[in-house]
Structure 1
Amino acid sequence: MKRLLSSMMVVVAVAALGAGLVPAAAADKLTVRLDFSPWGVQAAMHLAQNKGWFKEAGLDVDIQDGRGSGNTIQLVNAGQVDVGQVQVGLVVSARAKGATIRSIANFQRRTDLCILVDQDAPINGPADLRGKTVVVFAASPWAPFIDVYLKSAGMTRDDLKLDVVDPAALWGTYLARRADGLMSTVGSALPIAEKSRPSKCLLASDANIAFPSYGLVAREDTIAGKGPALRRLIEVEQRAWQDLRVNPEDGVKAMIAERPDAQLDPVVLLGQIKLTLDYFDTPASKGKPIGWQAAEDWDAALKSMEAAGVVRPGTKASDYYTNALIE
């Protein structure tokens, strides 16, 4: 009789599971704060959400639009969100001010800081900006490197007009031709300018400025407490970026579907996604998993930040990043 009852209980349990009456394990919840309103660098995050890949990985991801990388870093450090997708080079200045965050993945590892100028302008380096007007916003990642960049051509801020504006006025100033140049990043800027003011880029890297670009950051206690969930988040992001390398149009469709009210331009998005991918690899990270971070790249970034006065000499690259969550 006991064997019969036991067998019946097994059958009932299996039937209940098949009918969906037994609850599955709850998904791990993560909040991810992006850098700005939707643009191409966010394609992998939206693609993974749209395809249900986070759900497949046992994750419940709340993706929030941001108001700048600096603001996102503040929210991550305050524990208001779990993960920030930002320019990870900003971790250095944040930790110098007492933050306890680290870069946990750096997808766009090549320095993409640039100054936009007219495509046909006779401006090909910092020396050609003498007497010109360049627009930037105060919290731009460019801010600490302006003097270093100008110094590479034997110039100071007195040699040009630096127009510091609110972020909302940045593009309006440039597109209205009230400035000769705009300090931004390659991937975000060139596709936007293409329609109204076709432009080219003066790269910060040409002045030996190194700055790790977009990736994911988290607080140290979040890394310790939610490590398995963060590892799966990164694995899904790797999958999404790998898909985008072959099918960048997938990212355009996903972003428009996930942010239907944002009035996104598919041509601009596609250009931004492609340029983002162009800046994924450095010589030190080539052939490594997407998101993996090279000590050599961080050492170069710290050297640039020491020259810019962001950090004191002697800091260790290992204080700012970890590869512990990357396969």
Structure 2
Amino acid sequence: MPRTHRIRHIRHTHRLRLLAAAAALAAVVSPLAACSLPGSSTDATSNGTQLTKVNFMLDWAPNTNHIGLYVAKNKGWYADAGLDVDILATSSAGADQAVDSGAADFAISTLAGPAETNTKGANNRMIMQIEQKNSDVWCSLASNTSITRPRDFDGHTEVTFGSSESEAVVQTMIRKDGGTGTYDQVTVGTSTFQSLAEGQGDFADFYYNWEGIEAELNGPALTCFSPADYDIPGNGGQMGVITSESKISSDPDTVRAFVQATQKGYEWAYENPDEASDILLQEAADSDLDEALVKASMKAIVDGQYWGDPTKLKDGSLKLGSIDTAAAQEWLDFMTENGVFVDGDGATVTTAPQAGDLTDASFLG
């Protein structure tokens, strides 16, 4: 699965990575997923009014990146907005493809997701940005004393999920640190921690707000490097909510209702991280989340202001969910310069996708 479709994107625990694979299979064969068609209605009512059924697809196993969705559902804010929201496990094809095909009305992705799929003929849009600050870090096990800085990645092996984005970032970090950018990759489908511990590779891409916190709580200890410290431009972890242009055109009222209820869920979670953590643990009980990890992750998100500056959110100078197209464009330009995007024929795209064409923030409250 490409990094842009992970969670994460945050891209999660050893157990959750394995659960996600099972969940993806379940999503494909689930009768509920098969019969819950985008835009269809159910018999569910709110104050006697029929609710509009919508499907939301996760990008990975449930974690704190998704917490606002579960809060909005738990608090009844989707129902208040006239919506009956099903939160679906990620499909094997990925959240971006599910939105493009109509299998899901909305999904979690990074902006690179629509950039990648749209160059191949899709027409998706990011309509709400959750992560305002990149939480991606590249790490090795601290026990691997041969790696103490990015240039030490030279001659070693990266554990990946098949991401061309990762290659562009790692090569740039190595070269900025005085190395050559020559290293190997191995694609795995299980836990990154486990793969490193078993010696399948030497370093990997982690989300600090989830996997990094997990390592701090439970081990193994990591040695990590942030792309921003090596002049990688923009925000590669620009995670948010996406939908299709056809959904925007055909049903803007549902898009607006969904975005604003979701926005409210994330705002409440940001202001009430402990209570929101309890809601996630309750609503995603089948995922067997670690309570200490969930609460520590939310504390890291709040303390690090990953969803925006709380002072600006309170005084109204910033909306939670605002889309930073400037940072997005810097990242898209960087990815294009490194030959990451290809069109439907497999040809490298030389003109950078434009953030303004991939986003629509008009539905925010």
Match of 1:296 among 323, 326, 334: 326
Q: How many Å apart are 1:144 and its aligned residue?
A: 4.7
**Helix, strand or coil at the partner of 1:142:** helix
Kindly report which structure 2 residues correspond to 1:94-105, keeping only aligned pairs within 5 A, or say none: 94-105=117-128
Query: Is this contact kept in 2: 1:116–1:200, CA < 8 A?
Result: yes
CA distance in 2 between counterparts of 1:305 and 1:140 reads 9
* 23 and 197 in structure 1: CA distance in 2 versus 1, 3 angstrom threshold: closer
Amino acid at match of 1:94: T
Specify the structure having the higher radius of gyration (Cα): 1
Kindly tell me the number of residue pairs found equivalent between the two proteins.
301
Aligned AA for 1:190? Answer: G
1:268-283 aligned at under 5 Å gives the runs 268-277=293-302, 278=304, 279-281=306-308
* Amino acid aligned to 1:93: E
Alignment of 1:132-143 (within 5 A): 132-139=156-163, 142-143=166-167
Distance in 2, matches of 1:189 and 1:88, equals 21
Q: Using the alignment, how far apart are the partners of 2:47 and 2:135 within structure 1?
A: 46
Please give the alpha-carbon distance, in whole angstroms, between the structure 2 residues aligned to 1:268 and 1:127: 31
Note if contact 2:148-2:223 (Cα within 8 Å) is conserved in structure 1: no
Structure 1 residues without counterparts, runs of 5 or longer: 1-21
Q: Does 1:313 align with 2:351?
A: yes
The aligned residue for residue 362 of structure 2 is 324
- For 2:123, the aligned partner's letter is T
User: Which residue identity does 1:297 align to in structure 2?
Assistant: A
The letter of the residue matching 1:112 is S
Deviation at 1:217, TM superposition (A): 0.6
CA separation of 1:295/1:240 partners in 2, compared to 1, >3 Å: closer, same or farther? same
Partner of 2:30: none
Cα distance change of structure 1 residues 276 and 142 upon mapping to structure 2, 3 Å threshold? farther
Number of the residue aligned with 2:153: 129
Matched, 1:241 2:266: yes
- Aligned equivalent of 1:5: none
Structure 2 Cα separation of the partners of residues 108 and 296 of structure 1: 14
Which stretch of structure 1 is more off in the superposition, 222-231 or 268-277? 268-277
Counterpart residue identity of residue 75, structure 1: A
1:165 aligns with 2:192: no
- What RMSD in Å do the two structures reach over aligned CA positions? 2.7
Deviates more, 1:25-34 or 1:120-129: 120-129
Shift of 1:124: 5.5
2:66 paired residue number: 42
Verify the 8 A CA contact 1:38 1:262 in the aligned structure 2: yes
Residues of 2 paired with 1:225 and 1:125: CA distance? 50
CA distance in structure 2 between the partners assigned to 1:307 and 1:154 by the alignment: 20
Partner of 1:252: 277
Which is worse superposed, 30-39 or 237-246? 237-246
SS at 1:292's partner residue?
Answer: coil
Q: Contact (CA 8 Å) 2:128, 2:259: kept in 1 or not?
A: yes
Give the whole-Å Cα distance in 2 for the aligned partners of 1:166 and 1:237: 33
SS at match of 1:261: helix
Q: Which residue in 2 is equivalent to 1:113? A: 136
Say if 2:172 is the partner of 1:151: no
CA distance in 2, matches of 1:175, 1:220: 43
> 1:84 touches 1:216 (CA, 8 Å); kept in 2?
yes
Q: CA deviation at 1:136?
A: 1.7
Whether the aligned pair in 1 keeps the contact of 2:139 and 2:206 (CA below 8 Å) is yes
Note if contact 1:90-1:141 (Cα within 8 Å) is conserved in structure 2: no
State the partner residue of 1:184: 206
Partner of 1:193: 215
| TM superposition score normalised by structure 1 | 0.82
Shift of 1:143: 4.5
2:112 is matched with 89
Percent of aligned pairs sharing the same letter: 21
The whole-number CA distance in structure 1 between the counterparts of 2:300 and 2:251 is 32
The structural deviation recorded for 1:224 is 1.6
Please list the CA deviations of residues 269-294 of structure 1 after superposition, one character each: whole Å capped at 9, or x if unmatched: 12333334432238xx9842111112
Q: For 2:171 and 2:146, how far apart are their aligned partners in 1?
A: 22
The equivalent of 2:230 in structure 1 is: 207
Q: Structure 1 314/193 Cα, relative in aligned 2: closer, same or farther at 3 Å? A: closer
- Counterpart CA distance in 2 for 1:295 and 1:133 is 33
Matched residues in 2 for 1:148 and 1:224: separation? 40
